[in-house]
Amino acid sequence: MMLLDARDLTIGYGRTAIASGIDLAIEPGTVTCLLGPNGIGKTTLFKTLMGLIPSLAGTVRLDGEALAQLSRERIARHIAYVPQAHPAEFTYTVLDLVVMGRTAYLGTFGAPKQADYAAASDALEQLGIGALAERDSTRISGGQRQLALIARALAQQARIVVMDEPTASLDLANRILVLDTVKGLAARGLAVVLSTHEPEHAFLVADKVAILGRDRFVTGPATDVLTPAQLSSLYGVALEVETTPSGRHVVGPAAS
């Protein structure tokens, strides 16, 4: 059963289309990785998939219903957004940040109750960062902040988690931590969609890879899509993919 289904999508801002002919189906329990060069429209595609900006053509359906017809509250109960980790303007505690994930369940005039705080604490515990609850969310590491935002998605009880470059600007240990968490989410039946600049991350975690280029949108299993030819033309530099004896895939510049 498809959760989120985009058909023949044209994305862009205002009247300017930046990509078209996008078909993408997001299924539960899978990780979908989106790759593409800087400025190609990965974030725009994500925003369109979440209904934050309208598609210029084509439709996105959530459980068969057109996203454009649904209220923000309704969408928020199904799709959570994990933006690129950025320090907030106000110094909320980690728990306060996570409990904001309950907004779609509070009613227009409501504020979180005991059960909502319990759900938020539970989400933090599940990700192993329960100890951070009372810490200032602007004073934790980038990896911890990313986990806190993932915890917010769990508190939101979303079935789809959209993550914009979750491993960007993280150190090696935190990248591994976040990628492991992503796999854990999929193992629990959630659908994860994430963008990355590391093809190797896609080989590691993706059930499906989508590449967004200047004139193409291709989806499929990582080994089918992330070929040397495809990657080279996507990024405009000669690249090769090497498979190590242990079965890992390493992407690097082609030997001239």
Partner 1 sequence: MRTATVLLALAALLIAAALLAAGIGPYRIPPFAVLDALWQRLIGGPVQTTIDTVLFNIRLPRIVAAGFVGAALAAAGAAYQSLFRNPLVSPDILGVSTGAGLGAVVGILLGFPVAMIQLLGFAGGLATVIIVVTLARALRSSGDVLVLVLAGIVVGALAGAAISLVKVLADPYDQLPAITFWLLGSLSGVKAHDVAATVPVVLIGLAPLILLRWRIGVLSLGDDEARALGVEVGRLRAVVIAAATLVTASVVAISGVIGWVGLMVPHMARLLVGPRFDRLLPAAILLGAAFMIGVDTLARSAARIEIPLGVLTAVIGGPVFVWLLAYNRRKLLP
Of 106, 55, 54, 46, the closest CA to residue 81 belongs to: 46
The distance of closest approach from Cβ of residue 117 to partner 1 in the complex, given in angstroms and rounded to an integer, is 12
The distance of closest approach from Cβ of residue 107 to partner 1 in the complex, given in angstroms and rounded to an integer, is 9
The distance of closest approach from Cβ of residue 81 to partner 1 in the complex, given in angstroms and rounded to an integer, is 4
Give the per-residue contact string, 36-75, with partner 1 (x = CB under 8 A; - = no).
-----------x--x-x------------------xxx-x
Determine, following the binding rule CB under 8 A, whether residue 92 of this chain makes contact with partner 1: yes
Nearer to partner 1, 162 or 212 (CB): 162
Instruction: Determine the distance from the C-alpha atom of residue 163 to the mean position of all C-alpha atoms in its chain, rounded to a whole number.
Output: 2
Q: CB count, 10 Å around CB of 254?
A: 12
Among 112, 143, 166, 199, binds partner 1 (CB under 8 A): 112
Of 57, 9, 27, the closest CA to residue 208 belongs to: 27
- Give the dihedral sign, CA 124/129/134/138: negative
Nearer to partner 1, 89 or 215 (CB): 89
Report DSSP state, residue 8.
E
Q: Rounded distance, CA 102 to CA 46, Å? A: 22
| Piece in contact with partner 1 (CB under 8 A), picked from 3-11, 83-91, 172-180, 201-209 | 83-91
Distance from the first to the final alpha carbon of the chain = 46
Give the per-residue contact string, 2-41, with partner 1 (x = CB under 8 A; - = no).
----------------------------------------
At position 47, the amino acid (one-letter code) is: K
Determine, following the binding rule CB under 8 A, whether residue 90 of this chain makes contact with partner 1: yes
Report how far apart, in Å, the C-alpha atoms of 42 and of each of 47, 83, 121 are: 9, 12, 32
CA atoms within 13 A on the CB side of 91: 6
Nearer to partner 1, 17 or 218 (CB): 17
Q: By the criterion CB under 8 A, which residues form the site for partner 1?
A: 47, 50, 52, 71-73, 75-77, 79-81, 83, 87-93, 96, 100-101, 103-104, 106, 108-112, 136, 138, 156
